[in-house]
Amino acid sequence: MSLPTVDPGEGVYEDPLDLMDEIDALKKEKDATLLAHFYIDGDIQDVADFTGDSLKLARDAVKVETSTIVFSGVHFMAESTKILSPEKTVLLPDLHAGCSLADSCQYEDLLQFQEKLRAEGRDFETVAYINTSAKVKSLCDWIVTSGNAREIIDRVPADKEILFVPDQHLGRYLQEVTGRQMILWPGSCMVHEIFSVQDLLRAKKNNPGSIVLAHPECPHSILEVSDFIGGTEKLRQYVMSIKEPGTFLIATEANMIHPLEKSAPQHNYLPVPGIMASSGETCACNRCPHMALNTLQKVRDCLKYGKPEIEWQPYFDKARDVLERSLLQ
């Protein structure tokens, strides 16, 4: 259980245990299912019906039988859930919960770049990381998560070039592991960009025998000194496979430690420090500010009042085709 905090959006302290009980009651009353990403606060994960990475939650969402889905995550995740389950009411605790990666690749910019490549005679397919808006997905041939990216890249015909958007670090990693050259969009995740190699090496030295786990969204300099690289679900499966107690240094969003501790409590988990680009100071800033907008109070309120709701948009139909082909087939 994390330390109680005052939600700045609410201004009034409410006991987390009371809120969790209220959420459980509201889920039954409102015929709702709560999904929570691994990067969400541990208290919300504990009261959720499903937790996981983007791929697992996308697949979980289509199996939900309740009339309402509350997605505790960020906007593109709730959008994808609505697209794959159009008959459901899909709620997001805070509509301002966005994504720096999604922001780095806008619809008009991608469309213009695709048209430029086609004008040059380039024959390519566009592969997008799931951290993109539905409008951007409607321009793409494939959608990948960190959990299925290698599999999807193998499905792109060998005679086609690959335009990979928006995460340059994940794209560069996929180039290495698949041998496919790609045209890389210059986007990156604000959380994974800030990890400090020097502080990681210092932490490794201070914890002899420790194992570094990194998400492939991390810069190449971090991946070079990591012992195991994988998406969030693969990281969880990896620590579960090691029975002998050990120490793991975690180079991804710090809330990921919560599901790791639940799945393999025999280990010790330490977050890798980040470094603030503005000042060069080391900080414990490897938290996604967008994910942090999800609070127990906001989960309770969106269940109680049935909003904010993800509304169907005209471009969702096209995005649905690529999402179903990429994630469900």
Q: How far apart are CA 230 and CA 215, in angstroms?
A: 5
108 and 177 both lie in a single domain: yes
Question: pLDDT of 125-144, one tens digit each?
Answer: 999 999 899 999 999 999 99
Question: pLDDT of 98-126, one tens digit each?
Answer: 888 888 999 999 999 999 999 999 999 99
Write down the pLDDT at residue 107: 96
Q: Read off the pLDDT band of 219 (50, 70, 90).
A: confident
CA dist list (Å): 286 to 47, 190, 277, 292: 24, 9, 13, 11
90 and 167 both lie in a single domain: no
Q: Indicate the helix (H) or strand (E) that contains 214.
A: strand 211-214
Q: How far apart are CA 46 and CA 20, in angstroms?
A: 9
Q: In this prediction, what percent of the chain has a pLDDT beyond 90?
A: 67
Helix (H, G, I), strand (E, B) or coil at 284: coil
Q: Is residue 317 part of a domain?
A: no
Q: Is residue 168 part of a domain?
A: yes
Q: Read off the pLDDT band of 3 (50, 70, 90).
A: very low
Q: Read off the pLDDT band of 262 (50, 70, 90).
A: very high
93 and 105 both lie in a single domain: no
Which domain CATH number covers 54?
3.40.50.10800
Q: Is the pLDDT of residue 35 over 90?
A: yes
179 and 139 both lie in a single domain: yes
Average pLDDT value for residue range 44-66: 92
92 and 109 both lie in a single domain: no
Q: Is residue 110 part of a domain?
A: yes
Q: What is the DSSP annotation of 20-76?
A: HHHHHHHHHHTTEEEEEETTS-HHHHHH-SEEE-HHHHHHHHTT--SSEEEEES-HH
CA atoms within 13 A on the CB side of 182: 29
Q: Read off the pLDDT band of 290 (50, 70, 90).
A: confident
Helix (H, G, I), strand (E, B) or coil at 206: helix
Last residue of a domain, one of 149, 168, 188: 188
106 and 89 both lie in a single domain: no
Q: Is residue 284 part of a domain?
A: no
Last residue of a domain, one of 172, 188, 204: 188
133 and 163 both lie in a single domain: yes
CA dist list (Å): 79 to 50, 92, 220, 300: 17, 9, 30, 20
Inter-residue contact 185 to 105 (CB < 8 Å): yes
Closest to 166 (Cα-Cα) out of 147, 150, 144, 151: 144
Last residue of a domain, one of 133, 158, 188: 188
Q: Is residue 301 part of a domain?
A: yes
Inter-residue contact 256 to 39 (CB < 8 Å): yes
What's the structural domain count of the chain? 3
Write down the pLDDT at residue 10: 52
Which token pair is 276?
């603030």
Write down the pLDDT at residue 135: 95
93 and 111 both lie in a single domain: no
Select, from the ranges 58-62, 157-161, 198-202, the one with the highest average predicted confidence (pLDDT). Answer: 157-161
Average pLDDT value for residue range 93-98: 91
Average pLDDT value for residue range 314-325: 93
Report pTM.
Answer: 0.81
Q: Read off the pLDDT band of 79 (50, 70, 90).
A: very high
Q: What angle do CA 315, 320, 321 make, to 5 degrees?
A: 110
Write down the pLDDT at residue 274: 54
Cα torsion 163, 169, 99, 21: sign: positive
Select, from the ranges 123-137, 200-214, 285-299, the one with the highest average predicted confidence (pLDDT). Answer: 123-137
Q: Is residue 328 part of a domain?
A: no
Place of tokens 């939650």: 57
Which token pair is 280?
């060069």
Q: Is residue 81 part of a domain?
A: yes
Report the chain's mean pLDDT, rounded to a whole number. 88
Q: Is residue 7 part of a domain?
A: no
Inter-residue contact 133 to 147 (CB < 8 Å): no
Q: Is the pLDDT of residue 281 over 70?
A: no
Average pLDDT value for residue range 81-100: 93
Q: Which domain holds residue 152?
A: 101-188
105 and 181 both lie in a single domain: yes
